[in-house]
Amino acid sequence: IGPRLNHGVIYDFINKLRRNPHQLEILGDGTQRKSYLYISDAISATCFLFNHLVKGAVSDYEVFNVGNDDWVTVNEIAKIVVNEMGLKNVKFVYKPATPDGRGWKGDVKFMLLDISKLKSLGWNPKLTSYEAVRRTTRDLLKEILGK
């Protein structure tokens, strides 16, 4: 995630709150947990792995998960967006599409990559998922609202 993002939960929440700053519709029950990686960390990991490939420290066809090793919930994302927009007393309205609280059929309830192999080589993301979401929210607010 990062600047110029034009889809996804952060983008959707900002636009929903622009239309109605008093209420936010949340697809699902808000407990969905996912890992988020800021674009600069994704680039860092790619360059890190390329350098290890050039040095012969990893093989040509070796597979690595690139991501973050923590997560945030959709509820936490909603609170971050509301806070960064400077809104107060926003009512969250949940719209689960499935009995287990998913936002739509095919929605992933929990997503966390195992990045231990990449970390064992010495790479770590600089931003947590929470920080990545907050920074992306700030990026998008600057782009969309000029804030």
- Tens of pLDDT, residue by residue over 45-103, are 999 999 999 888 888 889 999 999 999 999 999 999 999 999 999 999 999 888 898 88
Question: What are the structural domain ranges in the chain?
Answer: 9-145
Query: What's the predicted TM-score (pTM) here?
Result: 0.92
146/85 Cα distance (integer angstroms): 12
**Structure confidence by residue, pLDDT tens digits, 9-51:** 999 999 999 999 999 999 999 999 999 999 999 999 999 999 9
According to the CATH classification, is domain 9-145 in 3.40.640.10? no
Single out the residue of 61, 60, 34, 64 nearest to residue 46, CA to CA.
Answer: 64
Single out the residue of 80, 70, 109 nearest to residue 10, CA to CA.
Answer: 80
Q: 100 is written with which tokens?
A: 């287990």
Single out the residue of 31, 34, 35, 58 nearest to residue 46, CA to CA.
Answer: 58
The burial of 132, by beta-carbon neighbours within 10 Å (0-12 exposed, 13-18 middle, 19 or more buried), is given as buried
Q: Let me know the angle formed at the C-alpha of 78 by 91 and 144, rounded to the nearest 5 degrees.
A: 105
What's the pLDDT at 147?
64
Buried b (16+ CB within 10 A) or exposed e, 133-147: bbbbbebbbeeeeee
Q: How many CB atoms lie within 10 A of CB 59?
A: 9
